[in-house]
Each structure stands twice: as structure tokens, then as C-alpha cells.
Structure 1
Amino acid sequence: MLVFRRIAVSAAAAITLIGLLPPYSAAAREQPGDLGAAFRRTLEDTVAAGSVAALAEVRDAGRTYRLAAGKAEYGRPRPAPAAGRFRIASVTKLFTATVVLQLASEGSLRLADPVGKWLPGIVDKADDITLEQLLRHTSGIPDYLPGLLDSSGVVRDPVRTWQDKELVALANRLPRVFEVPGTRFSYSNTNYVLLGMVVEAATGRPYAREVTERVILRARLTRTSAPSDTTRITGPHPRAYAMVGGAVTDITTLNPTILGAAGGIVSTTADLNRFLRALLGGRLLPPAELALMKTPVPGTTYGMGLSTLQTPCGVFYGQAGGIGGYFAATFHRQDGLREVSLAATPYTGKPDQALAALLQRTACA
């Protein structure tokens, strides 16, 4: 399976983790009146397994539970803020895919367009790779991100401002994952950095402005901000940590340009639920484009920025990921009766198992 790293959890890896757990027994589920207590215990278990903080907003048949466990800072008494902001990492890809599919529905671009039409000369064989292949991670273009991490999995230069072209240039120095686009799936942040550049080429406006106007404002996300070069997270937030040389190290400071349209958004659990509700409810995309987004690449759970999660209690749609010591996930059940958005700051222990349990237990309690 894909490997969890302290600073970077790909969406594919996070979803794969769910399959490691035994089915959640119906007999073990909490009674409806105990849901709030069940969710709180799940967050507390996540903290005990090696996270400084864990946050959740779970909406169950119209009732909302917004909870937190742990501390806002390692070794200090201030409790983690339930409404705190955090880096949503690869959940950003769902925002980016929404913008691209909106542009496709408007006729501003076509998913069958070659990358070279919008970004000539940006990558080798750009005329052989389509926008759809970028969306579905079937381009074969390698991921630049691992080369920017140290042996602890931490960003080596967290305050540097990166240009999208610089990130793509790093990927261009690496061998292709496979030579024939469209024949395989290989998760790569480079694909979505390129899609952010395509949005700018197709609209003549910055990606941050497009995602703000087309998604953030339209879905009424009041505490969500588009990727920028600001290294701080403003407003209440849990800080993030990693084990570096055997010591707990604060790694909250990070320049989001290292991921941009692939992972640079900051949000809250409430806003993530609101966004996914708007998306799956048809308020951000027409039915045809939403159906494309939900359709996974054969043999995977990944569609176009949106993943399908099979659980013992039903099918969920959403996304997950991590960067800079933050883990984020948002999944809604197909029938709309259970909405789950989570954040955690894992730094030690066995985060794979703890985060998988967090996802599954909040989905199926």
C-alpha cells in the first residue's frame, strides 16, 4: 500500500488505510443518544495514539456534533479549538477539480484537450496527455513533492515561495512513472499543479481568484482561504508537529506554494462539510460533470478529485490527505444522512491505524 508520511498523506493512501480495518460491527455501534459521546471517545483515542489534536464535525440526520480532543499546542494546557483552521492538503484537489469541471461545462475548455494546448512546452509529450488524465492521475507524470522532503518526511525549506513552473520543472527531471498516458493510475501532485496553471490559462485570472469566486464564495465557506504565499495559519488553530531527530518539533510554519492547487487551501471541519454538501447536492456542478467526478479509474477508488469510500455502513464520497503535520478528511454518505469532516495533527505512534479508525468510526458510529 501507499506509505503514510508524517507530513504528506496522499488521498489514495488515506483511503487505502480503511481497508486495513476489520468491518465495524453493527452490534458495536452506539445508540443514537450516545453519538456525541462516541465521537468524542474516537477523537480522544486518536490523540492517545499519537496526535496532539483531533477535530471533527459530524452531521447525522440533521444533528450536528462539533468536537475536539487534545491540545492546541504540544505540552501546553490550551485545548484544541473545535472550530479551528488547518491545512486541508489533498482535499484541495477536490476544489481544483470542481473549478476545472465548471470550466468544461461552460465550454471554456474540454477534458479531452491536450495539456500542450493550454501549457505548450511545459512537460515532455504534453500533446499526448489530456486534462482528464491529469484529473484522474493517469498521466504518468511523476510527483515532485518527495524530493522536497528530508529524511524525516518534513519539508526541507518550509518558508520558500515556489512558482508552479518550478515545481513542474522538478517533476520533469524525474523519469515517467509509465510511458503511455491513460494506461495506469499513479497519484501525483504535479497533475493538479498543472491543472491550476490550466485554470489560469483558460480564464486569464489567478487560480486563487477563480477557486475563491467559483467555490469558496459560492458555497459560502466563511473560514476557508485559497492558496497563497502566507506561511502562517490565521485565526484559532491547532499547531502541527513531527518527530525530528527524536524530538517533537513544531512544523506549523509552511509556505503553501509548495502544493498550490494540489494542496494549499486552509479550512475548517464545518466549511468542509458545507463545501461537500454543496458539491454533492448539485450546487457547484451540473449532473453530467458531477457524475464524471464520481466515476473512479478502473481498479481504484479515485475519480476526478473525488474518491469513493466503501464502508460497512454504506458508500461515502469525499477526499483525504495531509501536509505539514496536518491530516484532513471529508466524506459524506451517498444518502446524505451522515457527513464527516475531520482534522488531526499526528506526529508519533502508528498514525496509519489511528487515522483509519478515526475515519471509519466516525462514519459508522
Structure 2
Amino acid sequence: MSPREPSSDRAVRSRLLRSLTASALAVGLAAATAPPASATPQAARAGAGTQRAQLLRLARNLVDAGAPGVIVRVDDGAGRPVEIAEQAAWTRRDHPLQAGDEFRMGSNTKPMIATLVLQLAAEGRLALGDPVEKWLPGQVPGGEAITLRMLLNHTSGLFDYTEDPAIRPSILGKDRRRWTQAELLALGVKHDPLFAPGTRWSYSNTGYAAIGAVLEKVTGARLADLVRDRIARPLRLHHTYYPVGSAWRGPYARGYEPDADHMPAEVPAGFRDFAGPRHHGHVDVSGNDLAWGGAAGAVVSTTQDWSRFYTALMSGKLLPAAQLAQLRTTVPVDAEHPDGPGYGLGIQTGTGPCGTFWGHDGGVPGYLTTTLTDRAGGRTATVLIATEFWAEFEADPKIAEAAHALQNAVTCTMFGKPVPAAQAG
């Protein structure tokens, strides 16, 4: 299929492993009521119990709207973090959901992969301006003009491999092959590029497949080992890892999608039938292998671990100042709105009434995650929703409305500001 052909299936595939935070969440925040400027730290502390109760209610509303499970963790940097786990009654036979459970991070993998590249840049082992041809000769057509920086900030113009029909059986859990970075890269570059390198922005998981291949070439190590040795072990992230199979290492949140008979009508026929155990109109997809996510989306973590990662990253513990500045150097997501949401190196940013946030999100079958932090890493937040195709296909307005309400409230709580009145009522 040509990348320029209009197709509803192509539009859907383009959102898999795609990042939505800076565009979608910033829009939601723009509609929120700004908190009073006169709020004092004492008043904020006094309202902490109220805020937790509001977040708990909004999480419960999301479950009542149809989400099988929800995990929330918010740390405003001023006290004890708020942790919430809510689940539908029918899911308890599979696993009693806990706030510390492991889950698939999807495209939240990208900030971690970008951090590995920047660490190697700081060590002089590669440079952001290196053409991809230098490290992967002959593997990327036009690779002489595509730099590592372009791969990281999605300005390479490479077609997104998740849009190729060959990946669909893996997405549905029916093909359990162990995709390599080189195979994922080859899947994307067999299509014509979308535009000349560096001239536009377009989210491309193929760019991160290329980055994964470069990391393995430069270091001679597997991505799983790089994540473990350079990030997880130094930060004592005991439940964060790049999986080498479908097995989990600790207690984990089950992820679900509706079965074929209960899938919303908006979902095309080719995306309606997942592999996995079935009950209560759903398929448990948490045992399906995410090798197809590769460097673009395969990492597993927890809310606590990810908070620690973001704090270390944004405070400079993982990167020298020069590389951290590169991470935060953004390009506009929408060329028509250059002052709007921006994308840096594996991380994006947006501004709402409650503050300017940095972060990412990720969507893979069964798991939709949003992770946020402030510029210094002193405040962090994560929301996990244990189902994802409603977002891919805009197929469930009821879940979408409840999810936006929770995400907006979580963001303002992270900044230590009152939950907007529109969400608190």
C-alpha cells in the first residue's frame, strides 16, 4: 500500500505506538478552569485528601464507563504520592489489581531509548549529527541525509512500520515471531518516505527501530542489556526491563480488548479478533508478545519505577547538562502552530492552565499509558488504562470522556493545584 493512499486501516495502524500526550492532553487542559492564583501551600496540603477522593472517584468513573482497570500515581513533590488502583469486578478472577503492578509501557519506551543514545553521545561513541548510513550502511535508503537526531525527534520522513499489513498478526497476538530491530526497520523502509529528511514532523516508529539497531551496532550489546545495565540497575528500577519474551517478571496488570462479538462497530474487520483467553466479552491480551514494539515500544515498568526514571532523567542524574539540553530541544508537532506542543528527543511537551508538562504516552493492545513530569523532574504522574483499542479507533466516547477527565485532574494534581471545577463536579 502506498503511504499516500487514503485508508481507514492505515490511519488506525499509524496510531499504534503513537504518542498522543502533547496534542490530545494539552487540548483537554486548555478547556480546564485555571486554579485561583491565591492558593497557598497550606491550602494545597489541606486539600490533599479532597484531591485524592476526586481522583479515586474519576478512576472509578472510568471503570464504570467500561475500562477493565485503571492505575494512577501522582507525586506533586511535596508529600506522599497518591496511588490508586481500580478494576472492574469481572477482572478480579484474573488478578487483583495493585498500584505497583507491572505493565507494558508502549511508546513511553522512547524516552528511555533516547536516553541511551544521549549517554553514548556524551561518551563520544556516536554523535546526534551522524548520518544513519554511517552506522547502518545500505539499510536505510537515503540514509546519508537522515541523522540520528532526526530519527529521535521524528523528522526523518520514514514511513511508520506499524502501518504495514505484515505487522498486523503480531499486533493481534497471532504471530509470535521475535522481530529484530533490523526486521522492523526493513518493514518500514520498503515504503517510500513521506517527505525529505528534516523538512517536517511525522511520528515514525521506524525511526526508533533504526535507533535500536544503531545502539546494538555501536555497543555490541542487546537492547535488553543496555536498559538493564545503564538505566534499570543504576536507578534500582526492579520492575523495569526490556523483555526478551512474553513472560512477566513480577505481578502484572492484565490488559484486555473486547472480543470479536463485542468489539465496537467502528473497528475494521481486520482488527477485531485478538488471540488470548476470553471471558466476559473480552480477550486477555497480556500474554501476547510485544516483540513487534521493539525499541519503539517494548519496555515493561511500573508507576513507581517510571517516576524514579523521570526524576533521574530530568534532574540530570542520567545525562550531562549538554545532553539534557538536547533532549529538551523540541520541534513543533504541528507546523501551523509553532508555539504549540513540541517533540524533543524521545519526549514531548505541552502547556495547560496548570503548568507546562513533559512526558510521553504509549498505546499497545491492552495498555494505554500517559506519563508526565515537570521540567526538573520533581513532580511526576502516570495513568494506566487496561484497554487501548477504544483510543486507536475513537470507538468509545464514554471511555474517552472519562479518561480525559481523569488525565486532566491528574495533571493539575501533579502541579499541586486544585482539580478544575469542571472535573470536580
Q: Provide the TM-score with structure 1 as the length reference.
A: 0.90
* Number of aligned residues: 360
- 2:410 partner amino acid: T
Over residues 94-140 of structure 1, what are the superposed CA-to-partner deviations in whole Å (9 max), with x where a residue is unaligned?
00000001111111001110001001011111111100100111001
Q: Which runs of 5+ in 1 are unaligned?
A: none
Deviation at 1:287, TM superposition (A): 1.1
Among 87, 105, 108, the alignment partner of 2:122 is 105
CA distance in 1, matches of 2:287, 2:21: 23
Selected match of 1:142 from 141, 151, 159: 159
Give runs of aligned pairs for residues 117-128 of structure 1, distance below 5 A. Answer: 117-128=134-145
8 Å Cα contact 2:25-2:404 kept in structure 1: yes
2:277 matched residue in structure 1: none
Partner of 2:362: 321
Structure 2 partner of 1:93: 110
Answer yes or no: is 1:242 the counterpart of 2:257: yes
Closer, same or farther: CA 281–252 of 1 in aligned 2, 3 Å: same
User: Which aligned pairs between 1:141-160 and structure 2 lie closer than 5 A?
Assistant: 141-147=158-164, 148=166, 150=168, 154-155=171-172, 157-160=174-177
Partner of 1:211: 227
Structure 1 residue 301, shift from structure 2 partner: 1.8
Counterpart residue type for residue 231 of structure 1: S
Aligned partner of residue 70 in structure 2, secondary structure: strand
Structure 1 CA distance for aligned equivalents of residues 306 and 139 of structure 2: 32
Provide the secondary structure at the position in 1 that maps to 2:179. coil
| CA 72–106 in structure 1, closer or farther in 2 if over 3 Å, else same | farther
Structure 2 match to 1:270:
304
Q: Which residue of 2 aligns with 1:40?
A: 56
Given candidates 407, 411, 419, the residue that maps to 1:359 is 407
State TM-score, norm by structure 2. Answer: 0.78
Give the match for residue 260 of structure 1: 294
Gaps of 5+ in 2: 1-9, 263-281, 333-337, 391-395, 413-418, 420-425
Q: State the superposition RMSD in angstroms.
A: 2.6
1:49 is matched with which residue? 65
Paired amino acid for 2:293: L
Secondary structure of 2:217's counterpart equals helix
| Residues in 2 aligned to 1:171 and 1:94: alpha-carbon distance in whole angstroms | 21
Structure ID, larger Rg:
2
Q: Structure 1's 7 and 84: CA in aligned 2 closer, same or farther, altered over 3 A? A: farther
Moved more, 2-11 or 318-327: 2-11
Compare the two structures and name the one with the higher helix fraction.
Answer: 2
Structure 2 counterpart of 1:362, one-letter code: V
**Match runs of 1:155-304 below 5 Å:** 155=172, 157-178=174-195, 180-228=196-244, 230-247=245-262, 248-298=282-332, 299=338, 300-304=341-345
C-alpha distance in 1 between matches for 2:98 and 2:13: 24
1:336–1:105 distance in 2 versus 1, CA, 3 Å: closer
Q: CA deviation at 1:24?
A: 2.2
One-letter amino acid of the structure 1 residue matched with residue 159 of structure 2: P
- Give the match for residue 308 of structure 1: 349
How many percent identity over aligned positions? Answer: 36
Q: Does the 8 A contact of 2:104 with 2:300 survive in 1?
A: yes
